[in-house]
Amino acid sequence: MTNYLLLIPVVLSVLAVIAGHTRSTGREFVKTAATLSLFAIVVLHGINTDWSGFTIPFAVALLFAAAADYLLATQHREWYFRAGLFGFLIAYGIYGVTLHMSAGPSLIAAGVSVIVLIILIIQYRTLPNLPADLRIPVVVYMIVVSHLVVAGVAYANVVWAVNPVVAMLAIVAVLGIYISDSFIAHNLFRRQLKNDELWILPSYFAAQICMTWMLLIA
């Protein structure tokens, strides 16, 4: 039954993409509502089960992500961007640590680490418009998101033989977050994207929905 509730954030995500693309008034509330609906589903899952496994950390991560969604969608004050960046850093850090602890060390994780490290260096060195005061926060953020990719692939490798659907959801989730953030970095620190929300939001919401779906069926 809980799986069918994912239709709610799917609908809200579509509305959030449309509202973001059209710059509609109140778009920050629609975007936040989509993430909070995922949080509610995780909480309901925890109530119906024993709060074991990924349930509590994923619920906390989604709360931080929802706060970051609101802050970055509004940016009424200068500090909103930094606060939103911090919110996503915590959320993705929780996802990454949780998945990595479940997967454990592996050669797959080591190999993927080398690849994402090379990509991270290339990404950072090709951000000409990155302000000096944001260099350290952005580098830390890039490391956290890169670790999430490593952790997601390592976890998928561990569970593939037992539950390939969960493995695929994990890979789609972490790559979706990575792709979305890559578009954000390009839009802010390289060259502004035309129809930027259509590049950024679909992969972001797909990632969050897949992460929650993975929890429900793991």
Three-class DSSP category at 50 = coil
If you average pLDDT over residues 28-45, what whole number do you get?
Answer: 97
Q: What is the pLDDT of residue 1?
A: 62
Mean pLDDT of 23-38: 95
d(CA 151, CA 99): 5
Q: How far apart are CA 208 and CA 200, in angstroms?
A: 13
> Could you report the per-residue pLDDT of 111-134, keeping only the tens digit for each?
999 999 999 999 999 999 999 999
CB 41 within 8 A of CB 62: no
Asked if the model's pLDDT at residue 186 lies above 80, the reply is: yes
Amino acid 62: pLDDT: 98
Q: Return the percentage of the chain with pLDDT > 90, whole number.
A: 91
Mean pLDDT, all residues of the chain: 95
Compute CA distances 202 → 9, 88, 104, 181, whole Å: 12, 17, 30, 12
| Amino acid 74: pLDDT | 87
Q: What angle do CA 1, 60, 43 make, to 5 degrees?
A: 25
List the Cα angle 64/144/122 in 5-degree steps: 135
Q: What is the pTM of this model?
A: 0.94
- DSSP secondary structure letter of residue 109: H
The pLDDT, as a whole number, for residue 3 is 81
The pLDDT of 65-91, averaged and rounded, is 91
pLDDT tens digits, 91-108: 999 999 999 999 999 999
Rg (CA), the chain: 17
Type of residue numbered 218: A
- Given this model, what pLDDT does residue 50 score? 85
DSSP secondary structure string, 12-40?
HHHHHHHHHHTT-TTHHHHHHHHHHHHHH
